[in-house]
Amino acid sequence: MGLEGLNGWPGLLSRLCAGEDLRSGEAESVLTEILSGEAEPVQIAAFLVALKVKGETVDETIGLVRAMVAAAEPLDLPDGTIDIVGTGGSRRRREKALNVSTMACFVAAGAGAVVCKHGNRRASSTSGAFDLLDLLGLDIDVTPAQVAEQVATHGLGFAFARTFHPAMRFAGPVRAGIGIPTVFNVLGPLSHPGGVRRQVIGCADYSLGDRMVEVFRATDSVHTWVVTGHDALDEIAVTGPTRVLELRDGEVREFEIDPTAHGIAIVDPDDLPGGDPAENAAVAAALFAGEERGPARDIVVLNAAAGLIVAGVAEDLDAGIEAAGASIDDGAAAAVLEALRA
Last residue of a domain, one of 71, 90, 119: 71
Q: Confirm whether 259 is domain-assigned.
A: yes
Average pLDDT over residues 158-162: 91
Which residues on neighbouring strands pair with residue 131, listed in sequence order?
none
Is 288 found in the same domain as 163?
A: yes
Q: Confirm whether 115 is domain-assigned.
A: yes
The pLDDT-based confidence of 155 (bands split at 50, 70, 90) is very high
Q: What is the CA radius of gyration of the chain?
A: 19
The pLDDT-based confidence of 201 (bands split at 50, 70, 90) is very high
Q: Confirm whether 306 is domain-assigned.
A: yes
Q: Confirm whether 335 is domain-assigned.
A: yes
Last residue of a domain, one of 71, 102, 117: 71
Is 204 found in the same domain as 63?
A: no
Average pLDDT over residues 265-280: 93
Is 144 found in the same domain as 32?
A: no
Q: Is the pLDDT of residue 3 over 60?
A: yes
Helix, coil or strand: residue 124: coil
Is 219 found in the same domain as 329?
A: yes
Q: Confirm whether 230 is domain-assigned.
A: yes
Is 208 found in the same domain as 64?
A: no
Average pLDDT over residues 64-79: 95
CATH number of the domain within which 96 lies: 3.40.1030.10
Count structural domains, the chain: 2
Q: Is the pLDDT of residue 194 over 80?
A: yes
- DSSP per position, 278-314: HHHHHHHHHHHTT---SHHHHHHHHHHHHHHHHTTS-
Is 118 found in the same domain as 40?
A: no
Give φ, ψ of 83 to 5 degrees: -130, 145
The pLDDT-based confidence of 266 (bands split at 50, 70, 90) is very high
For residue 53, the model assigns a pLDDT of: 97
pLDDT tens, residue by residue, 92-133: 655 688 999 999 999 999 999 999 999 887 766 788 888 999
The pLDDT-based confidence of 184 (bands split at 50, 70, 90) is confident
pLDDT tens, residue by residue, 314-328: 999 999 999 999 999
For residue 166, the model assigns a pLDDT of: 92
Is 235 found in the same domain as 172?
A: yes
Is 104 found in the same domain as 27?
A: no
Cα dihedral 45, 51, 56, 60 sign: negative
Q: Is the pLDDT of residue 54 over 60?
A: yes
Nearest to 73 by CA among 142, 5, 21, 18: 142
Asked if residue 74 lies in contact with residue 193, where contact means CB atoms within 8 angstroms, the answer is yes
The pLDDT-based confidence of 241 (bands split at 50, 70, 90) is very high
Q: Is the pLDDT of residue 1 over 60?
A: no
Q: Confirm whether 320 is domain-assigned.
A: yes
Which residues, 6 or more positions from 265, have their beta carbon under 8 angstroms from its beta carbon?
Answer: 238, 259, 295, 298
For residue 91, the model assigns a pLDDT of: 64
CA distances in angstroms from 311 to 65, 115, 202, 212, 316, listed in the order given = 23, 9, 16, 19, 11
Q: Is the pLDDT of residue 342 over 60?
A: yes
Q: Is 153 exposed, middle or buried (0-12, 13-18, 19+ CB in 10 A)?
A: exposed
Is 102 found in the same domain as 51?
A: no
Nearest to 123 by CA among 87, 158, 72: 87
Is 45 found in the same domain as 86?
A: no
Nearest to 295 by CA among 84, 203, 303: 303
Please give the mean pLDDT across all residues of the chain.
94
Q: Is the pLDDT of residue 42 over 70?
A: yes
Domain of 9 in residue numbering reads as: 3-71
Q: Confirm whether 77 is domain-assigned.
A: no
Is 153 found in the same domain as 23?
A: no
Last residue of a domain, one of 13, 36, 71: 71
CATH number of the domain within which 63 lies: 1.20.970.10
Is 64 found in the same domain as 150?
A: no
Q: Is the pLDDT of residue 240 over 60?
A: yes
pLDDT tens, residue by residue, 273-316: 988 999 999 999 999 999 999 999 999 999 999 999 999 999 99
Residue % of the chain over a pLDDT of 70: 97
Q: Confirm whether 76 is domain-assigned.
A: no
